[in-house]
Each structure stands twice: as C-alpha cells, then as structure tokens.
C-alpha cells in the first residue's frame, strides 16, 4: 500500500486494484494529469487508507483477493466519513447485472476494462466536478443553518432583555404612581393647612408641628420668624439658630445656574416662587429640596412677610435619575443592535426607530418619526406586512414572516411583538440570503437536468437514439429554442445535422441538413477544437453561414466534439438574442454534455467494432478449428517419429524411421533422405521409402556441383518447394528440407506428392520439425560415438579435477570449521546463560560476559558465512568464464551516472577506516557498450582491495579517462606496495600476498583472478604497478567491448 500523496492540484484519487501492473500504469497516468494518488491492492488496505487520507474519488476494482469491490463500496457508503466520496468501478466484467449491482451498492459510474485513458480522465473530471459542487452546496447549507441558529439565539437574548426591561419599567412606573399619589396627598394637605393657618395661628402651629414637610415664615427681609421641626430637620439647623439667620443663609444652593438674587427680588415683589435645588446639609451630605414661597399680605395688601414650605426630594430625585438612566440604557441597546427596530402606537404612528431601521427603510429619522407607517409606504397595505401586523395587534400574538417589501424591492425577515400601546417590530434585510437560496435551487435544478442528459447518453449504444435523447434533454436543460448534433464528414466537405431538437414542434426538422465546410470560418474554428460563442448572428457576414440565418435563432453556442484530438462534429445550442449573452457557466455545462456525447460516441464505435470483430472471429474460429484438426494429426505424426528416434543411437535406424513415417503420414509418393559430405561436396541417399514403389535411388551419390541452385539453398539452411518432372513418376510436387543444427548441416529430406497436391504450410512445418529432431538424434548418435573416444581424455581431466578440488576443499573447510566451532561455543554460552537465569540472580557479571560472547560468536558465524558465499560465487563465475558461459548481455552505459552509486559504499567504508577516497571523472565521457555486471564486479573488487590494503590517513584514487577507442580505469592506493617478486603471480587463482591484509578481512584468493578473467571477457587488458608505497591497477577496455555483440 502506498499512502504517499503526490501533487493534488486537481484532487486526490484512491486506486484499488490487485494487479500491480494496472496499478502502476494508472497511477502514473493520473499523476501526469495533475492528480494526487493513493494506492491499495485489497479491501482491507482500502479501509486503512480512507481512515488516514480522505480521497476525492475512488477507482475500485470488483475482483479483489479478500473481499469483492461490491462489499467494499457497500461499507464505504455505510460509513458517515466516506459515504459522500464518489466510487467509480473498474472491471473487465461486462454483464448488465454486474453493472446494475455496481450502481445498486452506491457506485456513480462503471468503466469497462481494457481502459481507455481519455475516457477515464473525462469520467473522473465529470465525477469530481459533481462531487465538488455537492460539497459546496453542503457547506453553504451548513453556513446558512449556522447563521439561522445564531440569529435565533440573538432574538431569544433580545426577547429576554426586552422582557426584563419591560418589567423594570412597570416596577418604576408603580413606584412613581405611589410617589405621585403621596405627593398629591401632601399638596392637598398643604392647602388645608394654609386655610387652617389663616383661621388660626395656634391651629397652624399645631398642624405645622405634625406636618411631614418643612414649613417656615419669614419677615420681609427673609429672616425666619418660624420654622417647624421638619423644616429644622431638613435644613439641619436648630430652632434657636434658625431664627437669627435668613432662610437663604440656612440653605446655600450648590446650583451655579440659579440666580438667587433675582429669585429673592421676585419674592419681595410679591410673586409666588417655587424652586428645586441642591444644598450641602450640616452633616456634610448633599440634599435635594423643593421650596415654595408665597407672600403674606396685610389687610391693606402690603407684604408683611412670607410663608413657605420646604420638602426633602432627594429620594424622589434618585428615582427620577434611575428612571432616566434606565431609559437611556434601553435607548442605547436599541441604537446598537445589528437588527433594525421601530415601534408603532395604536394609530400606526412610528414612535421610535433605531439608525439601522432608517438605513434599511432608506429614510432619515425625521422623515419617519411620528409618521403613519402605511402613509409612508403606500403599497404595504396590500402586502403580507399589513395583514400580519393587524393580526398581531388584534390577537396579541407575536408574528414572524419573510416577505419582500413592494416599495423598496428588498426581502425582510420580520418579528413583531404586540404591546399595550402598539407594536414593537424587529427586522433585517435577507435579500442576499434569498438570492443565494435561489442560486442554490437553480444549481440543483441544473445538476438534476444534467444528470438526465447523462442518463439519456448512457441508456443506449445506438447513436441515433443517443443523439435524439441528448438533444431533447439538452434543450430542456438549457431552455433554448434549438439543439443540433452535427457530424463533420471530411470526405464530403460538409457538416451534417444528425439530431435536431425544436422547442416549437411546428418548425421544420433540420436532420440531414448539410452545411458547407469550405470557406466557413465557424467550421474552421470547430476544426481547431475552439468553442464558438455568437450572441448575435446578425454580425455574421460569410456566405457559408448566411444561408442558415433564416432557419435558425439568432444566438449560437457551438462546442466541438472530437475523438482523440480529431474533430468529429459539434453540439450546437440556439436561442433568440434578446436573452442575455452566453454565460461561462452555460459554456462549462455545454462542455460537460459534449464530453458525455464524446464518450458515448467512443463507446458506440467500440461496440460496432466489437460486433464486426465477433463476425470476423467466428470465421477465424471455424478456419482455426480445421487447422487444429490438421495440427492434431501432424502432432500425432511428429510424436510418433520423436518417440522412435529419441532413444535410438543408430543413425541408420533414425533416418529409416523418419522417412517411412513421413511417407505414410503425409501420403507421399516417395520420401528419401541423404547425408552430406561437405569435404567432398557430395550427397548420399541413405534411405528411400514409397508406398507403391520400390526403392530406386537408395545408395545414389549426388555431386552438389551438378545441382548448384538446389544445394546452395539447402546449404543456407533454407527449404525448397518446387515442381519437378521425374523420368518415371512424371510431374510431381517436391519439398526438400535440410537437416541441420547449430553446429552445421548434416543432410536433407526429399518428399514428393502428386502435382495437384502442393505442400501446405503446416506440412512444411512438420517436415522442418522432423528434420530438427533427426538432426538432434543424429548429433546424439555421433556424439555417443565420439564420447567413447573421449573416455581416456576424461580420465586425464578427472585427475586434474581432483587436484583442483584438493585446493578448493581447503578453502571451503576453513570457514566451515570456524562456523562449527562458533556453533559449539554458542551452544555452551547459551547453556551457561540458561543456568544463570535459572539461578534467579537479577544482576550477575557472568550474564553480561555470556551475552557478550554470544554476540561475538554470532559475528563470527556471519563473517564466515559471507566468506563461504563469496568463495562459492567466485568459483561459479570463474567456471562460467572458463566455459565461455558468462553472460554476454551488453548495454549502453553512462559512466558518470553509473559510477556515482557504485562508489557510494566505498566512500562510507573509507571514512570508517579514516581513509580518503577521491573520484576523478572528467566531463563529457562517451557512452560505453559493455556488460554492466562484469564492469561493476571489476571496479568493486579493485576498490575493495584498495580499501583493504591502504593504511589509515592515506588516500585511494579512482581515475577515469577516454581516448578515441578505449576507456581507462585506474585504481591507486597509497601507503602500501606489492613486492616485485609477487607481481607475476598476482592474478593466479588462490594466490594471496602474505601479511598484507591490514584489516584482517580474509579472502579467497580468487578476486584478482576473477578480475583478470572478466577483463579478458570484455576484450580489455589489466596491468599492475607497485613501487614507493604506491600500488596502481589499470584497466583498459574498448568503448565497444569485443566479447559482447553491440
């Protein structure tokens, strides 16, 4: 499973297929198209992928190794996470029931193998477009639902706040009513007290003493002559102190805007005055008081003083301030809310509106305040607003509605709440939301119509039916007056209408109508696969299309149909120009329909080809059946001959059997065979057989020079088929076939039939196979004889083999012995470890030592196994090279790219040993035609030896250069050298320089011997130079190796 996501500019696709080749090819193709790709080969792997990476589309094979594709799709559609992912089935199944089941489990499409990539790409793009549109609709619906929920919560909070506010207003109103009644009561009391005061001073005093408000009298200068206890309490002065001060001195106002002097002058002039103000009480507090002063007149009318009342109204002022603050808070809330708000009284007059309301109603505050709502919006009485507002007031039930305002042309969402004195209305502009909902609805209708078009395309394989249904559905989808499906016929240089949809059925059908291709600019655009948009055909001035204008509407949209880039025709939509110009969305939708038509045309063409192929195949099957019957007969003949000659080592018996069986099996007049003597250039007839004739030619010796044409062709390993005139048999059909193998020609077979019966191809093949078997059998017979002569030579070779095995056995036994000892020591260490663990000691130094030894023994085993394997590989390669059986496969090698990965391992090895490896490769090295494996083995062995014998801190250099015909490789290591007396033996098998293995890696002694053989195999040379602590191996090979055939 490959979950690596590549570039997904166009979307991510999960491919599920149990065939790695299909998976790889389809993945590469989709990556080239710009898709991201995930891969899975089983159903279980599919579920693992979708849990970590959610693809945009799934291509699903039906036949999977664990569960079939139907069950995979069923489970995907049952999962909430994956149920919306479109699934397209890919299968070689072609039965209708298979496709029906695929759609039944949730598949959106079904593509039949073998795949056509253009079809796959078109269907993928179509399904991804539908899937992305569905995702957009889902997201938009979710956003709308979230917005609705948010607004409902805001309405609930506002309703709760309004309820609390109304309750506060009611409570404050009750308090004010109580205070007002109390105030009225006090005023009445004041009046009664004033009457009583005039009637009796004593009565006045008694009443004033018990009065709940302050009462005082002054002389004409404003000095207190009397102040009751309540007045003293309010002023904070005692009676004795009050009587020596003026009342203005006792009550010094804090109100800077009040002109006390003017007020006193008014009082002294006999005016009745009343004033509210603040003053600082004797206890330091600020009090509000209300003073009412009237003049006291004598019987003559002169002012003899004043009488006044003083009332502490601090509490009442506090209540008034609270009511004012509450009213201001409500006003601020209404002014700041995002929704528009206004109130109507019982006469439908606007008593309040916030700024948002004025903005949405497109009027200023002054234009609406105090105006009758229905007068300001005269069309409203006929709307739903008028009916619902009156119903809310009449039934005292809140209402909610969504309606367009006829006056403003905007959609509003309105909530109205009845009040005791009118109606409170909250509303907001939802015009954009209504527009979006309408667009979504239109998009859904378009998608449904498009699906109907696609279904119409897929319901049949008959093009006439497909075109008619598609034209009708496209006409309904695009709501156009005409839809034409036109085919381009290049041989006839015309465009022919194959299907025609007419909105008005009384219009004449255009099916079969031909449009000229020559001098037609619109046709030229379509042949360039360009989309043609014409919003007004009145602008067309070419003669080819001018004749069409009276027959067709005045706005055209033409989308080309093509098969692999070759124009096939066009899909043409037509409507009157008074409609809006062709929009991009309409063009895109028309392209989708055109793509579906293209797929249908391809499928129909494939269906036609399959039908034609089936007819051809039926004929071929019948013909092949006859050939197979004949082949079985010939196979039986060939098997009889093979069985008889296979086990024979008698050359005469082999030829006799072949001639006799061929003559009988092929119903020949005569058949004979001859053996060649190439040195003498003769052909001797060894055996002859005829069904109705006696042998006549057996023992005859033919001189090849007498028949140069015939024998030249046979000597070139070619059979001869001709008509010949025999002295006795007359004219006859003759077939001559050479008997040869890879070592040369051995003889021939001659077969004769009646002249009316020529040899068939199958008969010739049978004779050739018999000749091949005869060649093998003859060669085996001759080899058997030669083998007897080679027994003595083999005995000598056997002695040489024993000597070789004696040498090799030592090298093989050494690592085996070491491994056996390591195994025994490992067994002992394991027994000790078992005993230590059985003792139960948690920490024991012996445990650590035992574990260390086990690791050491395992390391020895691994190292010695590697030695054994390397030795065997070297022996096998040497054997192949000496037997000329080594691989001769060659290829072009780019040296600079090939050497980089080859030398990477040695860079790491040199660093580990504190050595420096330098690679000197010039630019522009030519390509080399050689055996890559052999060349790699040569350089690997040389670099391995250089690392093996170079001391630490020394460097190893690999140099490569080229001349006109050769490539030279030189590996040089510094810090060590090979003694001069050792150099002649350095390339011998099993030869090793004693004491030079600095890193104690061991070796088989076959490495350089193998290198020498490989260099010889490539047609090159290798030399070694060693002096002054420097050793260099130089390999020169031809740019085209001699041992391999370029």
Could you read off the pLDDT of 190-221 as tens digits, one per residue? 777 666 656 666 655 666 667 778 887 877 77
Question: How many Å apart are CA 623 and CA 630, to the nearest integer?
Answer: 11
Residue 1024 has pLDDT above 50, yes or no: yes
At 1043, is the secondary structure helix, strand, or coil?
coil
How many helical (H) and strand (E) elements, i.e. helices and strands, does the chain have? Answer: 28, 34
DSSP assignment of 842-859: SS-HHHHHHHHHHHHHHH
Which pLDDT does position 5 carry in this prediction?
43
* DSSP state at residue 925: P
The encoded tokens of residue 623 equal 């013909």
Question: How many Å apart are CA 415 and CA 421, to the nearest integer?
Answer: 17
Provide CATH code, domain 792-877. Answer: 1.10.287.130
Lowest mean pLDDT segment, chosen from 343-352, 478-487, 585-594, 806-815:
806-815
Q: What is the mean pLDDT of residues 146-155?
A: 83
Residue 1037 has pLDDT above 70, yes or no: yes
Superfamily of domain 647-789: GAF domain (3.30.450.40)
Residue 585 · residue 575 · CB < 8 Å? no
Most confident by average pLDDT, 432-441, 499-508, 702-711? 702-711
Query: Which CATH number, 3.40.640.10, 3.40.50.11540, 3.30.450.20, 3.20.20.220, labels domain 132-336?
Result: 3.30.450.20
Where along the chain do its domains lie? 12-115, 132-336, 337-429, 439-611, 647-789, 792-877, 886-1038
Most confident by average pLDDT, 19-23, 80-84, 1005-1009? 80-84
* DSSP state at residue 720: E
Higher pLDDT, 895 or 154: 895
Give the model's confidence band at 727: pLDDT under 50 very low, under 70 low, under 90 confident, else very high.
very low
Question: How many Å apart are CA 967 and CA 844, to the nearest integer?
Answer: 62
Lowest mean pLDDT segment, chosen from 152-156, 237-241, 367-371, 601-605:
237-241
Residue 375 has pLDDT above 50, yes or no: yes
Give the model's confidence band at 729: pLDDT under 50 very low, under 70 low, under 90 confident, else very high.
low
Per CATH, 132-336 and 337-429 having the same topology is answered yes
Provide the sign of the torsion angle of the four alpha carbons 539, 544, 548, 553, taken in this order: negative
Q: What is the mean pLDDT of residues 989-1007?
A: 60
The encoded tokens of residue 397 equal 């039930």
> Does domain 337-429 correspond to CATH entry 3.30.450.20?
yes
Which pLDDT does position 651 carry in this prediction?
83
The fold of 886-1038 is Heat Shock Protein 90 (3.30.565)
Residue 290 · residue 276 · CB < 8 Å? yes
Residue 1008 has pLDDT above 90, yes or no: no
Higher pLDDT, 282 or 617: 617
What is the tens place of the pLDDT at every residue in 892-903?
Answer: 988 888 888 888
Provide CATH code, domain 12-115. Answer: 3.40.50.2300
Residues in the chain, total: 1046
Q: Report CA 645 to chain centroid distance, whole Å.
A: 65
For the chain, percent of residues with pLDDT exceeding 70: 78
| Average pLDDT along the chain | 78
Which pLDDT does position 407 carry in this prediction?
72
Question: How many Å apart are CA 827 and CA 819, to the nearest integer?
Answer: 12
Q: What is the pTM of this model?
A: 0.31
Question: How many Å apart are CA 356 and CA 212, to the nearest integer?
Answer: 50
Rg (CA), the chain: 58
Q: Where are the beta strands (DSSP E) in 83-223?
A: 87-91, 109-112, 214-218
Residue 663 has pLDDT above 80, yes or no: yes
Residue 639 · residue 631 · CB < 8 Å? no
> Does domain 439-611 correspond to CATH entry 3.40.50.300?
no
């Amino acid at each position: 499973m490959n979950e690596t996501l590549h570039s997904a500019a166009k979307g991510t696709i999960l491919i599920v297929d149990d065939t790695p080749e299909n998976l790889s090819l389809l993945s590469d193709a989709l990556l080239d198209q710009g898709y991201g790709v995930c891969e899975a080969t089983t159903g279980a792997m599919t579920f693992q992928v979708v849990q970590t990476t959610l693809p945009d589309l799934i291509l699903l094979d039906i036949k999977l190794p664990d569960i079939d594709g139907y069950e995979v799709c069923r489970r995907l559609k049952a999962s909430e996470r994956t149920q919306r992912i479109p699934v397209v089935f890919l299968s070689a199944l072609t039965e209708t029931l298979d496709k029906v089941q695929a759609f039944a489990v949730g598949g959106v499409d079904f593509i039949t193998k073998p795949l056509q990539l253009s079809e796959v790409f078109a269907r993928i793009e179509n399904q991804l477009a539908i899937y992305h549109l569905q995702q957009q609709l889902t997201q938009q619906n979710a956003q709308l639902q979230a917005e609705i929920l948010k607004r409902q919560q805001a309405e609930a909070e506002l309703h709760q706040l309004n309820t609390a506010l109304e309750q506060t207003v009611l409570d404050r109103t009750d308090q004010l009513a109580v205070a007002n009644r109390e105030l009225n009561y006090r005023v009445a009391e004041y009046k009664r007290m004033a009457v009583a005061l005039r009637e009796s001073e004593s009565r006045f005093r008694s009443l004033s003493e018990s009065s709940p408000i302050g009462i005082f009298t002054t002389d004409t200068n404003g000095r207190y002559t009397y102040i009751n206890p309540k007045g003293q309490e309010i002023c904070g002065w005692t009676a004795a102190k009050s009587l020596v001060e003026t009342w203005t001195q006792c009550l010094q106002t804090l109100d800077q805007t009040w002109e006390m002097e003017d007020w006193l002058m008014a009082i002294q002039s006999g005016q009745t005055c009343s004033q509210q103000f603040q003053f600082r009480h004797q206890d330091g507090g600020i009090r509000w008081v209300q003073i009412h002063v009237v003049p006291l007149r004598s019987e003559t009318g002169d002012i003899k003083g004043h009488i006044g009342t003083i009332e502490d109204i601090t509490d009442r002022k506090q209540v008034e301030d609270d009511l004012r603050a509450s009213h201001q808070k409500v006003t601020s809330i209404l002014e700041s809310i995002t929704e528009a708000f206004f109130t109507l009284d019982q006469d439908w007059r606007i008593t309040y509106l916030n700024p948002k309301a004025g903005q949405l109603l497109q009027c200023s505050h002054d234009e609406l305040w105090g105006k009758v709502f229905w007068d300001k919006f005269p069309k409203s009485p006929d709307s739903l607003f008028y009916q619902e507002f009156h119903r809310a007031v009449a039934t005292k039930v809140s209402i909610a509605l969504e309606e367009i305002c006829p006056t403003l042309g905007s959609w509003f969402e309105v909530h109205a709440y009845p009040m005791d004195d009118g109606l409170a209305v909250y509303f907001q502009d939802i015009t954009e939301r209504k527009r979006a909902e309408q667009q979504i609805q239109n998009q859904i209708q378009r998608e449904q119509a498009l699906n109907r078009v696609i279904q119409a395309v897929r319901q049949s394989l008959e093009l006439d039916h497909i075109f008619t249904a598609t034209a009708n559905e496209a006409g309904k989808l695009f709501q156009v007056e005409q839809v034409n499906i036109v085919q381009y016929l290049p041989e006839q240089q015309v465009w022919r209408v194959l299907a025609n949809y007419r909105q008005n059925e009384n219009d004449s059908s255009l099916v079969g109508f031909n449009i000229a291709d020559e001098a037609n600019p619109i046709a030229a655009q379509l042949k360039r696969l360009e989309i043609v948009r014409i919003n007004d055909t009145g602008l067309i001035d070419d003669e080819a299309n001018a004749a069409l204008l009276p027959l067709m509407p005045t706005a055209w949209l033409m989308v080309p149909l093509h098969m692999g880039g070759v124009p096939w025709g066009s899909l043409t939509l037509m409507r009157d120009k008074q409609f809006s110009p062709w929009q991009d969305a309409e063009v895109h939708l028309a392209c989708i329909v055109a793509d579906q038509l293209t797929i249908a045309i391809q499928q129909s063409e494939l269906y036609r080809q399959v039908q034609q192929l089936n007819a051809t195949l039926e004929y071929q099957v019948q013909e092949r059946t006859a050939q197979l019957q004949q082949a079985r007969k010939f196979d039986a003949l060939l098997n009889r001959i093979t069985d008889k000659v296979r086990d024979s080592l008698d050359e005469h018996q082999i030829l006799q059997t072949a001639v006799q069986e061929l003559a009988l099996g092929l119903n020949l007049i005569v058949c004979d065979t001859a053996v060649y003597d190439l040195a003498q250039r003769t052909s001797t007839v060894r055996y002859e057989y005829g069904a109705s004739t006696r042998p006549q030619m057996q023992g005859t010796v033919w001189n090849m020079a007498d028949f140069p044409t015939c024998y030249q062709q046979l000597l070139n390993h070619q059979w001869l088929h001709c008509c010949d005139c025999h002295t006795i048999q007359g004219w006859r059909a003759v077939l001559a076939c050479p008997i040869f193998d890879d070592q040369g020609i051995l003889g021939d077979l001659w077969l004769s039939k009646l002249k009316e019966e020529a040899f068939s191809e199958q008969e010739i093949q049978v004779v050739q196979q018999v000749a091949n078997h005869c060649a093998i059998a003859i060669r085996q017979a001759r080899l058997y004889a030669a083998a007897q002569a080679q027994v003595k030579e083999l005995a000598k070779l056997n002695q040489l083999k024993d000597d070789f095995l004696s040498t090799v056995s030592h090298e093989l036994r050494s690592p085996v012995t070491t491994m056996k000892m390591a195994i025994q020591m490992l067994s002992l260490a394991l027994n000790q470890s078992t005993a230590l663990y059985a003792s139960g000691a948690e920490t024991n130094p012996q445990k650590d030592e035992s574990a260390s030894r086990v690791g050491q023994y395992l390391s020895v085993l691994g190292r010695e196994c590697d030695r054994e394997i390397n030795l065997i590989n070297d022996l096998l390669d040497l054997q192949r090279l000496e037997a000329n059986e080594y691989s001769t496969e060659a290829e072009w090698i780019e040296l600079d790219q090939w050497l980089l990965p080859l030398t990477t391992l040695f860079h790491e090895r040199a660093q580990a040993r504190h050595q420096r490896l330098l690679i000197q490769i010039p630019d522009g090295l030519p390509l080399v035609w050689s055996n890559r494996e052999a060349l790699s083995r040569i350089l690997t062995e040389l670099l391995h030896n250089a690392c093996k014998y170079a001391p630490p801190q020394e460097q190893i250099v690999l140099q490569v250069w080229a001349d006109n015909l050769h490539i030279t490789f030189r590996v040089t290591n510094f810090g060590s050298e090979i003694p001069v007396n050792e150099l002649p033996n350095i390339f011998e098998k099993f030869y090793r320089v004693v004491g030079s293995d600095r890193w104690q890696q061991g070796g088989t002694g076959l490495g350089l011997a193998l290198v020498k053989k490989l260099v010889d195999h490539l047609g090159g040379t290798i030399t070694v130079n060693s002096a002054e602590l420097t050793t260099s191996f130089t390999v020169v090979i031809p740019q085209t190796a001699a041992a391999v055939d370029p």
